[in-house]
Amino acid sequence: MTSMVPFLGQLVAIPKVEPRFNTALNQLNSKGMELKINNQNKHFASSNLTVQALLDLEIPEKQNGIAIAINDTVIPKSNWNSHPLKETDTVLIISATQGG
């Protein structure tokens, strides 16, 4: 089965591709997870995130002066690499700023 799609002014046939492996494990891995980060719901493709992995995705450029709370519990920086996040966790990311 194919679909006809316009491409550069012409119709091009695109074949329908069936996934090779349609296992429950692949479906589970593709589900990902939803987290609430600073009062915004966000979906992540991976369902295996740690606090550090989340920070690498959300603020890769600067991670100094950051505090993290998961479900109203502060997570020490020494635990960021090992603290797993769970579906529907509420994450608060606080960044220190200068000024007065």
pLDDT at site 74 = 94
CA 99 to each of CA 43, 96: distance values in angstroms, whole numbers, following the listed order: 33, 10
For 72, what's the count of Cα atoms within 13 Å in the CB-facing half-sphere?
Answer: 0
The alpha helices in the chain, defined as continuous H runs, are 24-31, 51-58
More confident residue, 2 or 74: 74
Assigned superfamily of 32-100: Beta-grasp domain (3.10.20.30)
pLDDT in tens, 10-22: 776 665 555 544 4
More confident residue, 68 or 26: 68
Q: How far apart are CA 28 and CA 45, in angstroms?
A: 10
Look at residue 63 and tell me whether its pLDDT is greater than 60.
Answer: yes
pLDDT in tens, 2-59: 566 676 777 766 655 555 444 444 444 457 899 999 999 999 988 899 999 999 998 8
Quote the pTM value: 0.65
Domain extents in the chain: 32-100
